[in-house]
Structure 1
Amino acid sequence: MTEGHERKKQPELVRRALIDCAARLATECGLQAVTVQAVADAAGVTKGGLFHHFPNKQALIEAVLKDQLDRFDAVIEATLAQDGDSYGCFTRAYVIANLAMADYAPALESTCIALITDPVARIHWSDWLRARLERHRTTDAAPELEIVRYAADGIWLADLQQVPADLRIPRDQLRTRLLAMTVR
């Protein structure tokens, strides 16, 4: 093989492309559009190339979900770094991250549908949330803070269902009210 035909192997870049393409397909067309062939085609690899990185479609979906959760978590960490360790700090970060999700992790909305139907995905989310709540037990265990987190989840669900704007309070007003509820 001549030098011009050799392709440098970059497994991390290929893996990243597969995750990004699967996330984009989920966002643009729904989770049902995330097929092995569609993702391989979008990433410019063969199905065998995809299977080199992910043994099956479920493993790919889990990698997308983990990637999106990592992005969600990074926004929470950045917010916590600015907020400190006071009452409601995790809940404030959760509200901010949740309401900004479309800006940094749009595929999380689509892949989170799996949280409703897929037991493995629910376990990943539950494990993440359990670890976070344990870490912030001294600042965020109050029932009123749990209610605020549920309200933020409800806003996310309304976004996912594309509830019309005329049936909703403006997002900035909701955000301000929820954040105010996290301060003593």
Structure 2
Amino acid sequence: MAGAPSPMDGALSAHHRKKQPEQVRRALLDCAAQIAAEGGAAAITIQAVATRAGVTKGGLLHHFDSKQALLAAVFADLLDKMDQEIDRTLADDPVARGRFTRAYVQACFSDRLLGEHSLWGALSVAIVSEPALRSLWSAWLDDRMARHGETDGDPELVAVRLAADGVWLADMMEKADGLRRYPQDFETVLLAMAGA
């Protein structure tokens, strides 16, 4: 039949198309993040992510050799986005004392209203159960405190950050009740405590 593509045409075009590994990797991370936001970290499977990204399982495993490696990469990507958000907030804050703490509080509260569709919420449980994710979080926090310890090492500011972590934990444990018990305007209270 003239003009109808044969199965070989697809294989040839896939074989001959220009490889774009960074775009594929980005798509895999984005698809894994979407799946986590929709169904939690447990919903991330090699097959589910590969299917959503339109690649083979082998193609996914070329970039991430296990589900744990994929999960760690999604979490590292999320930390990078949080870093960027915090850096933007820091740049707009003229008061040095507590600047990082205020940016941290704002980042912690930024997607609370998404509820179960918050990617942070989805990955929260995984942080508790996955040692690699805890290590990534600890390294991120250690780096930030090394950079901001002089302006944000005061015990009162540490307490504010721990309170923001507590709200985050309550949201993880209590789902919708977290917002009822600790309304979104609790962010304003913490920012005031941090000298905003």
The two structures share one fold, judged by TM-score above 0.5: yes
Which of 42, 45, 53 is the matching residue for 2:52? Answer: 42
What is the identity, as a one-letter code, of the residue corresponding to 2:75?
L
Mapped to 2, the partners of 1:7 and 1:179 lie a distance apart of 52
Query: What is the DSSP-based 3-state SS (H/G/I as helix, E as strand, rest coil) of the residue aligned with 1:171?
Result: coil
1:118 maps onto 2:130 in alignment? yes
1:170 maps onto 2:189 in alignment? no
CA contact (8 A) 2:171 2:178 kept: no
Mapped to 2, the partners of 1:84 and 1:103 lie a distance apart of 28
Query: What is the DSSP-based 3-state SS (H/G/I as helix, E as strand, rest coil) of the residue aligned with 2:79?
Result: helix
Shift of 1:86: 1.1
Give the root-mean-square deviation of aligned CA atoms: 2.4
1:86 match: 96
Query: What is the DSSP-based 3-state SS (H/G/I as helix, E as strand, rest coil) of the residue aligned with 1:170?
Result: coil
**Aligned 1:1-184 pairs, distance under 5 A:** 5=13, 6-84=16-94, 86-102=96-112, 106-160=118-172, 161-164=174-177, 167-172=180-185, 174-183=186-195
CA contact (8 A) 2:36 2:42 kept: yes
* Seq. identity, %: 50
Q: Which consecutive residues of structure 2, in runs of 5 or more, have no partner in the other structure?
A: 1-7
Shift of 1:108: 2.6
CA contact (8 A) 2:39 2:122 kept: no
CA contact (8 A) 1:37 1:47 kept: yes
TM-score by length of 2: 0.85
For the pair shown, the structure with the greater C-alpha radius of gyration is 2
CA contact (8 A) 1:65 1:112 kept: no
TM-score by length of 1: 0.90
CA contact (8 A) 1:69 1:108 kept: no
Shift of 1:162: 1.3
Aligned length: 183
Q: Which consecutive residues of structure 1, in runs of 5 or more, have no partner in the other structure?
A: none
Shift of 1:78: 0.4
Query: What is the DSSP-based 3-state SS (H/G/I as helix, E as strand, rest coil) of the residue aligned with 2:194?
Result: coil
